[in-house]
Structure 1
Amino acid sequence: MPESRTTRTYRSELRTEQAATTRRRVLDAAAASFTEGGYSGVSLAEIGRRAGVSAETVKANGPKRDLLLGAFEQAFAGAEGDAQLADSTEGVRIAAIGDGDALLAAAAGFIAAANARTSLLWIEILSAAGADPVIAEALEALLARRMADYRATVELLIDRGIAPADIDIPGTAAALSFLWSPEGHQQLVLQSGWSMPRYTAWLCDAARRQLA
């Protein structure tokens, strides 16, 4: 009996889902491996061992530079891709918060947690960008998306009355991008020993000073 179209569709969808699950595992393993061993010092075989898959499977999800970039995106935002944070599930949830103070606290909490997952991985991206023009180009696009997200955040805070209507949106967005950067988490939490609650509170306070 010939295989039905429904059966073929189901099997195709199952394979797609399995492939997506494997890629998420590979990217999680890549993030951990690059953080611990550095981008240049980690092999595809090592990533495969950590992910529980073969080096060929890792290679099929590569090349290595794509694993680095995808690992960062997934670790920071929950999914890889070039969409803005404002369009993500968490971004939409935060944007729907009506109270300005609560919105700022939720945004700071999200960034604090995301930076905690990625601050060391971010350093690997910056380092790799100096030697790989493809990564450098991807980094430039990532920074542009980040700036767009911060402009959108400032606009939301204006709408909620936390920032004045005549504030310099591009300038304030640039200041937030600097203050809320992964480098800040590395220096304050990893190097200076701040607790995450203290760091998160500082993100809120630093933003308020810029928005005043």
Structure 2
Amino acid sequence: MSGAERRSYRSALRAGQAEATRRRVLTAAADRFAERGYGRTTLVDIAADAGVSVETVKGYGPKRALLLAAFEQTFAGSEGSAPLLEREQFMAIEHLEGEAYLTAGIELIAAANARSAGLWRAFVSAADTEADVRTTLDQLLDHRRADIGEAVGRLRRRGLVKASADEETAAVLSFVLSPEGYEQLVLDAGLTEDQYREHLARLVATVLRPGP
């Protein structure tokens, strides 16, 4: 192995280790926020759970940045503001057509809501008292509405939505598919995961193809 190859290898190794550390920190943050809420969670708690120094956690930004990144990783599988339908798990179903595409998409959203509902509750609660968190949450909701609007367009191209679907359809669908719905039906009302998915599929069908 040449000197350049060794340097490239070490650089790739360090990058991989840094990415693994960040994911571990965000996982610890997500668990803490969901369990104890935003206000009661400290950077010291997160560092201890992740097995890193507090300085390492601080290097990832203020607590609200950790909250957002933790939610993105938990819900979508990766950080960033890239549209949801361009994330890896959704790109993997893009080849599907008809009902198979809709069913696969609902399954992905249901699983994402199950992973992130407790964290979402902490996010919304923190936004009630923290102006910076409220701003971050509003931006996240804007992204969600845009994602749903794009999803409606893709469903229309597959013939899975009424031709007259509009912004109201997207708005209703955004609520139906939200973590809030999972929270109310599963965490509060006690439905099983299977019951939740069944209700979700029926609700989505009603929104997309309402009766006369």
* TM-score using structure 2 length: 0.92
The separation in 1 between residues aligned to 2:174 and 2:82, in whole angstroms, is 17
The separation in 1 between residues aligned to 2:127 and 2:33, in whole angstroms, is 14
Query: Cα RMSD over matched residues?
Result: 1.5
Alpha carbons 1:27, 1:71 under 8 Å: kept: yes
1:114 aligns with 2:97: no
Alignment of 1:157-176 (within 5 A): 157-168=155-166, 170-176=167-173
The range that moved more, 70-79 or 39-48, is 39-48
The separation in 1 between residues aligned to 2:141 and 2:95, in whole angstroms, is 24
1:179 aligns with 2:176: yes
Q: Tell me how far 1:5 sits from its aligned partner.
A: 3.0
Q: Which residue of 2 aligns with 1:149?
A: 147
Q: Which amino acid aligns with 2:163?
A: A
Q: Which residue of 1 aligns with 2:23?
A: 24
Q: Tell me how far 1:179 sits from its aligned partner.
A: 1.0
SS of the residue 1:106 aligns to:
helix
Q: Which amino acid aligns with 2:52?
A: V
Structure 1, unaligned runs of 5 or more: none
Q: Percent identity?
A: 46
Q: Which residue of 2 aligns with 1:39?
A: 38
Q: Which residue of 1 aligns with 2:201?
A: 204
Alpha carbons 1:95, 1:156 under 8 Å: kept: no
The range that moved more, 132-141 or 32-41, is 132-141
Q: Tell me how far 1:73 sits from its aligned partner.
A: 0.3
1:192 aligns with 2:189: yes
Q: Which residue of 1 aligns with 2:60?
A: 61
Q: Tell me how far 1:8 sits from its aligned partner.
A: 2.3
The separation in 2 between residues aligned to 1:111 and 1:20, in whole angstroms, is 25
Alpha carbons 1:35, 1:121 under 8 Å: kept: yes
Alignment of 1:7-22 (within 5 A): 7-22=6-21
* TM-score using structure 1 length: 0.92
Q: Tell me how far 1:156 sits from its aligned partner.
A: 1.8
Q: Which residue of 1 aligns with 2:137?
A: 139
Aligned residues: 208
SS of the residue 2:160 aligns to:
coil
The separation in 1 between residues aligned to 2:165 and 2:64, in whole angstroms, is 39
